[in-house]
Structures are given as C-alpha cells and as structure tokens.
Amino acid sequence: MFMRAVMLVSVVLLLSLTPDASAVTWDNGGGDNLWSNATNWNPNVLPTISDSVSIAMASGPIINTPTAADGNQIRVGMSGGTASVTMNSGTMNVGEWLMIGIDASGQAGTFTMNDGTINLGVTTPGNGHLWIGYTGSGTFTMNGGAVSVPGRFGLGWSGGAATVNLNGGTVITGVFSMASSCSINITNGSLIIDGNQTTTVNGYISGGWITAFGGTGTVSVDYDITNPGKTTVMASVNLAKAGSLVPANNAVDMMPNADLSWTAGTGAISHNVYFGTSSPGTFRSNQTATTFDPGTLDFNTPYYWRIDEVN
C-alpha cells in the first residue's frame, strides 16, 4: 500500500507539470509587423495550430505569401488596445475559431483581407467559427480571397457590434447569424450558406442590416441556383436610366429641326438610340454622345424615341 501511494503521488506531480497549449501574444518586438517573424511574438516563437493567439495592438501583424499563419483560438481586439490584422496573401489555419472585436471595454478589432485563404475549424470543425463583434466592436473588410467557416459566421453576440465590408472574395459558412447592432455591405463579394436560409437573409435585408453598394444597389438571394444546396447572397448595381429627356413625353409643337438630348444614366458607357414613327422607334445608332439629330421632322406626325443605356 505504501508503494502504491508513493507511485500515485508521483503520477499526480508529473501530470501537474505537463504544459497546456501555450498562449502566444503579439508585441511586434521585431518592428516589421510580419506575422512570420518570431521576434514579433511573446515568447519569441511563431504560433502553432495548438496555441491560443492574442492580438491587442493597432500595429498588428501583416500576413504575406508564403506565410502560414496558425493558431487554435485567435483573438483580435483584446483588453489593452485596438488591434488590427492585415492579410495580403498566404494562408491562415485556425484550429477552432477566430474572433474579431471581443472586448467590451472599448477596444476594437479590425481585420482586412486583401487576398489569401482562411481555413477555420481545422482540428475541430464543430468549433470552426468566425465571430465579428463578439462582445466588442469588430470590423472585417474582405477585398479578395476565400474564407471557409464550417461552423458559424456570426456578427454580434452579447452586446457586440460588427461591420462587414464584402468587397470581393467568398465566405462559405455552415451557419450565418447577425444582430441588429451589425451590418454587412456587399459590393463584389459573395456569402454562401449551407441549406435554404433565404427567409432569414431576406429578413436581415428588409431590416436594413444587409445592403448593397452602400444602399444604392440591390442584394440578391437565391437557394439551390448559383450554388446547389446552398443560399448565395450577392449584390448588383441599380443602374439608372437616361434622364432629362428633350423633347419630353407627349411634347407638341416641336420645331422640324429639333434634336434629341438626354443625360446619361449612372454607369452608362454608351447609348442605343431608337427613333421612328412607330413605337418604340427604329434602332438608329449606338453612340457615346448624349444628343442625336433625327433629321427634318414632318408636321402633324407623332414620333417615338427611346434611349437604352449600355453599361
């Protein structure tokens, strides 16, 4: 019995000395802002897929090819300062989750992704979440690249606020949710969600939480069309028609030598001109000018004209 007691104590002591997954903190000690420089981390080692990673500095890491930025749980925007991460290229592999803006005491987290690939839930897919504004203020600007979220792409949680600018690239997620304190503005990017989530997404759009081109465009949502078995959210520009038409509709007593004129619609690069004595007029030309000379007009004759903007 005595020997067994001694052996048991020895095992307990050995287990208590076994280190857990380490915590690695960004301090930019090397001064070059590169994620790939070990001296920018405390301690002076690069984070691994098993490490908890904390970034709480405005002068945050920059990720470039061929860097593989790894971490198990990555926090951007902790107590102590506003934090930022810029990803220009390369790959980020996250064992579980990435949180941007997780501190409620005023520190904000920003993540700008210009290109590259982010893979979440590499070791634990069920915990592979991307949270923006978890309990603090988070901003995620995506200009290109691809993000794979097997778990939840969540905006806002427990009082957090999130801003997402989807200017390019693709976010593919298993689950998507957002709070009223959050917003997504889509231009050239796309959000792809597993299953039919059109009702949920259309509710966010109706509430003004998801917009296109800063509110001047249209958010489009489809299920099982663009991507089989998935809901796809994208944006399109609302292209304005030609305006300020002269002569106006139903104008009378026009001079026989009158010209047609108009103002170009937003985004128009040329104009298809239709003109004739039957509606909607006969195609006459494609031109960049915003005036057209139809020739000498006959008296007591109705004329029809139309301008189609080419974008």
Question: How many Å apart are CA 80 and CA 93, to the nearest integer?
Answer: 25
Q: Grade residue 106 by pLDDT with cuts at 50, 70 and 90.
A: low
Beta strand 190-194 with 170-178: parallel, antiparallel or unpaired?
Answer: parallel
- Please list the residues that pair with 138 across neighbouring strands: 109, 162
- Does residue 12 or residue 250 have the better pLDDT? 250
Whether omega for the bond prior to residue 61 falls within 30 degrees of 0, making it cis, is no
149 against 13, higher pLDDT: 149
CB 296, CB 306: distance < 8 Å: no
**47 CA to centre of own chain:** 26
Distance between CA atoms of residues 100 and 80, nearest Å: 14
**Contact between 120 and 148 (Cβ < 8 Å):** yes
Express each pLDDT in 40-91 by its tens digit. Answer: 999 999 999 999 999 999 999 999 999 899 999 999 986 656 899 999 999 9
- In terms of DSSP H, where are the helices of the chain? 2-16, 198-206
pLDDT band at 12 (very low <50, low <70, confident <90, very high): very low
Relative to beta strand 161-166, strand 137-142 is parallel
Given a cut of 60, is residue 17 above it in pLDDT? no
Preceding peptide of 19 cis, ω within 30°: no
Phi, psi at 199, each rounded to 5°: -65, -45
Interval 170-187: pLDDT, tens: 999 999 999 999 999 999
